[in-house]
Amino acid sequence: PHCLAFAHALSFGLGPAVLMSKRSFTLSNVGALRTRFEWQLGAGPFTLRPRSGVLDPGQSIPIHADFSPGSAVSFEAQAVCLYGTSEDPTLTLHRLLALSGVGKYPFLCVGAEPDSAPRVDFGDVAVGETAERFVDLRNVSPVRASYSIHRRESPTSALPGLTRPVEVFGVSSHRGTIGPDDSQQLRLTYTPLAAGAESIDYFEVSTPAGNTLRLRLRGCAVGTQVSLNCRSINFNDVRVGERATHTFNLTNHS
């Protein structure tokens, strides 16, 4: 007789909303006849691959299951595996597979305070130098979180004679994935190009499910600052052919 074996139920547990979670299980032909199978599954967040095929006696194949919840709710479905002789277009035997999963929205924050509006101040930085700061991007949800980072507004820095703004701030990673209750360190840099310019930029960190936070970056560009310890030097009277010497201090404050 025809006989297929597979698990009675497949649970995805918690899965990130709008993203895909993957599982797999084994479909085996434990009967003595060549058997054709076909999965029937209604529209919803679950899919099975391959949807149909033929198994020789003793053959096993992996069935790949995907779960793509569109919102943070619980989902349940039943997939029907129809099977029978490979020559008969009508499959009369069947077995059920119970599918379940719960969608959860991921939530990202910077630092230890989830509700804080993170600000990073580089302070005064000499022109041509690069200052760096580090922030922890935390995933405080029980599901993985994929993120992307982009500049929200045009940079405020501009060099004289240039019509386009100059990007003086940088971020080490523009996209990535953080595991449940895990964190990832971001390296932020500031490289000023024009002395006297104060730069403020905003970067947005967003997830596919809509969680968005804004990073405010600020820095001030300073040039070389030197000073003398006197405003003038008086050599008084000096005989012709003789040499007079005075000293003064030149100090670099930058």
Mean pLDDT of 211-227: 86
Rounded to whole angstroms, how far apart are CA atoms 76 and 51? 19
Residue 21: closest CA among 68, 56, 63, 62: 68
What tens digit of pLDDT does each residue of 26-65 get? Answer: 999 999 999 999 999 998 999 999 999 999 999 999 999 9
Predicted TM-score of the model (pTM): 0.73
* Cα-based angle 224, 230, 233 (whole degrees, multiple of 5): 125
* pLDDT score of 250: 82
Residue 95: closest CA among 109, 80, 113: 80
Residue 116: closest CA among 138, 134, 131: 138
Rounded to whole angstroms, how far apart are CA atoms 33 and 55? 9
C-alpha separations of 209 from 17, 20, 148 in Å: 6, 12, 12
Collapse the DSSP code of 149 into the 3-class scheme (helix H, G, I; strand E, B; otherwise coil) and give the result: strand
